[in-house]
Structure 1
Amino acid sequence: MATVTVRSPSKSAFLPALLLFMIVAINQSEAQLSTNFYASSCPNALSTIRNSIRTAISRERRMAASLLRLHFHDCFVHGCDASILLDQSPTITSEKTAPPNDKSARGYELIDAAKARLETICPGVVSCADVLAVAAKEASAYVGGPSWAVKLGRRDSTSAFPDETLTDLPFFKADLQTLIDNFGAKGLSPRDMVALSGAHTLGQAQCFTFRDRIYSNGTDNIIDRGFASTRRRRCPAVGGDDALAAMDLVTPNSFDNNYFRNLVQRKGLLETDQVLFSGGSTDSIVMEYSRSPSRFSADFAAAMIRMGDIQPLTGSAGQIRRICGAVNN
């Protein structure tokens, strides 16, 4: 009998098939996110979220900034999976109590309320991650910012990732290159980073995040002295860490490009704001946005869509939580 020699395929022979598999897997994951994902399963989902969120912001306009921030903090930690909404439990260490969130993240109850309404019309259909993504868009639109078509179909995480909040969320004292690296690790460009930072045209910051900057005694040559003096009225040199100050003194509750005009005038409140216009590679983007509100709005919307694409759970991964603060039993 003749001997038949069977040769093992070389490693290089596997590469085209492996690459094809990876491309197909990525495309399948992205294809599962669709702007009309709930068109049949819950046709009133978007209007239900819209009505709930707009009613809440009409009561407290500052909540628009809080919802945008909540979506950002969710997506940057292990992807847009609603892990930030999970409460502390015997089996889960919540992200809510992690240092980047414990003093500043808010608006959880609004997401819970919108989700509860959805459960009455389409139980077990709409994920908390999608509610959060739509809420951010509605928050922007309600206060004069851009709107965009939210891609849907995310599923919810069954775990929280508090340790990743310390490594993945930008630190308020980070330098420009560190910020670029933080955003780049999430697949976002420096232009995306500057555009998303423009959300700081809304909301307030706590004193401890900007005290060093306004009490620099002239050593910080990238802060306007009159601006620093004004900010000291709301932030004492000692104590009062939780005292709040508007990110934008002129239009603190309206979404506009005044944030970028402030940076050009050396009136950025946080170090991570002003560093975007301090002689570095993003100066030209800041200048462009300061001159063109329409360009800023368009780029912000596009960046929010890209941010919403960060590591979504799709298909059979995760679950559709019935209550956003707890994993299904």
Structure 2
Amino acid sequence: MVIKNKPKHYLSLLFASSLLILIACDSNKKKETHTTIEEKTVQVPNFNADSAYQFVKRQVEFGPRVPNTPAHRQAGEYFINKFKAYGAKVQTQDFEATTFDNQSLNLRNIIASFYPEKRKRILLASHWDSRPFADKDLERPNEPIAGANDGASGVGILLEIGRVLSKNSAPDVGIDIILFDGEDWGELNNGQKIEPPANLDSWWCLGSQYWSKNKHDKNYSAYYGILFDMVGAKYAQFPMEESSLYYARSIVEKVWSRAEKLGFSNYFIRKQPGGITDDHVFVNEYAKIPMVDIVHFDPVNGYFGDFHHSHKDDMEIISKETLKAVGQTTMAVIYYE
């Protein structure tokens, strides 16, 4: 449509109106620019992968940390003494549990609290026991595994986090580290399903089931939690696990986004392959603390990898680069709170 022979005052009004619209649009743009919130600048301490690797190695040197064995007891004392040396308030939960194969276990959850005076808290956890059978291995299937990745890697990262916290300025949140016991004495890999008794939801994750129903502090709560399970293998990938997304989607996004900003997106992948029953499920369900699971995923074999519950799970598969990716991401998450 063409406008013809309009009076001068009409054209002036049209021009003025257009100018006002442009000024208003420009003003809105400026307002939007001014309301952009910049991320705070935070000095995040360095996570030392060499130190974390040595913590993993030391655990393996004890031998398989199978409940009711000397290696298990020695490892437990080692963890307690280390956390105390790093200035944490350390508590233990000693309890008994019966396994699927009717073994009575003496178990111990270990809780290390940093900055107990801080009200806002983050919970970090891993299991510290190792599998009593290599039931996915064709050789020596009835012997216990070293559990370098399945157990020791997560604990190694948590010990290093404790060491780093002891040597640097405090974050704005308190940190509670829990080492769950009795996670890995579940049914054998033979297709047989043995239903747990009424007081258990699963033969797996005995320590987290116990703690979630019997917290070390009756009124304890945390803003959120992060679980570390099999977090040290070479070329590891950690997907957005389904139960984590269901219970704590915003925390998954927080952790994975932080990893991406640090350049670790080749480890923390935005794949959603399904869920698993791990310690985080019981912390979410019974303790009512939103907890995510950083857990190994094999794109060929699905969760866990070919080393899982086999004698391949030794120091040969542990990578300092992977420990660094997980540990440094966690330090950044903590210090950006």
Q: Same fold (TM over 0.5)?
A: no
Higher percent of residues as helix: 1
TM-score, length-scaled by structure 2: 0.23
TM-score scaled to structure 1, two decimals? 0.23
The higher relative CO (CA closer than 8 Å, separation ≥ 6) is in: 1
